[in-house]
Amino acid sequence: GIQVEQSPPDLILQEGANSTLRCNFSDSVNNLQWFHQNPWGQLINLFYIPSGTKQNGRLSATTVATERYSLLYISSSQTTDSGVYFCAVNYGGSQGNLIFGKGTKLSVKP
Amino acid sequence: EAQVTQNPRYLITVTGKKLTVTCSQNMNHEYMSWYRQDPGLGLRQIYYSMNVEVTDKGDVPEGYKVSRKEKRNFPLILESPSPNQTSLYFCASSAQTGGGSQYFGPGTRLTVL
């Protein structure tokens, strides 16, 4: 099956810094999503981005499907950005099956 | 308020005692899914449903059953729970199958002794 790898596994930032999280996948995908899990366990969908670039406030994401990777940019990080960021992909003929990466744990220090 | 609800939020049970975790969404979403989250393994999909009466296996379906008799509800059934099913479970729904924004429930922490 498809492999989804995220890097770095852990990231510590000072408040105000920028960061880039990466998601590599080993096969062609139908779509790709980014999620944030806050320290209380709540999961929030950030982007649905099978290709191209999207922006939402301080966050933006780019997926280069032909090169099998996606990037999540966080600018001017805040302590509320802390948590774990997951990417998940759907591939093949089954449109409902989502495969998650193991996540990047981000800690933003004040 | 648009939301996905799960019950119970916390459950401690014993091996072999059948249990059901309920999931309900009020957004008229067609797609619903169950995931389990384990340390070091991340989130893995158990089952998903593209619509009423349509369900399919995810990556880790063994030991679980689901049903989708009505659009808003998607219960997860553990007929004979075992300790390796101790985990954090999330239900999610989406307006679009395989894509679009998924809305997650708050999670159910299950411990099987």
Q: pLDDT digits over B38-90, tens only?
A: 998 889 999 999 999 999 999 999 999 999 999 999 999 999 999 999 999 99
Say yes or no: B22 contacts chain A, CB-CB below 8 A: no
Determine contact, residues B103/B93, Cβ cutoff 8 Å.
yes
Mean pLDDT over B8-13 rounds to 97
For residue B113, how many other CB atoms are within 10 A of its CB? 10
Q: Does residue B98 have a pLDDT over 60?
A: no
Query: Tokens in use for B62?
Result: 């063994």
Residue A76 or residue A1, greater confidence? A76
Decide if B79 touches A, using CB distance below 8 A.
Answer: no
**What's the pLDDT at A30?**
87
Nearest to B107 among A41, A50, A101 (CB): A41
Burial (0-12, 13-18, 19+ Cβ within 10 Å), B37:
buried
Q: How confident is the model at residue B100 (pLDDT cuts 50, 70, 90)?
A: low
Residues of chain B contacting A45 with CB distance shorter than 8 Å:
101-104
**Chain B partners within 8 Å of A102 (Cβ):** 40-42
| Cα separation, A54 vs A47, whole angstroms | 8
**Is B52 an 8 Å CB contact of chain A?**
no
DSSP character string of A16-28 = T--EEEEEEESS-
The four Cα atoms B64, A5, B99, A91 give a dihedral, to 10 degrees, of -80
Burial B52-80 (b: 16+ CB within 10 A, else e): eeebbbbbbbeebebebeebbebbbebee
Which tops the pLDDT comparison, A41 or B2? Answer: A41
Instruction: Give contacts of A36 with chain B, Cβ < 8 Å.
Output: none
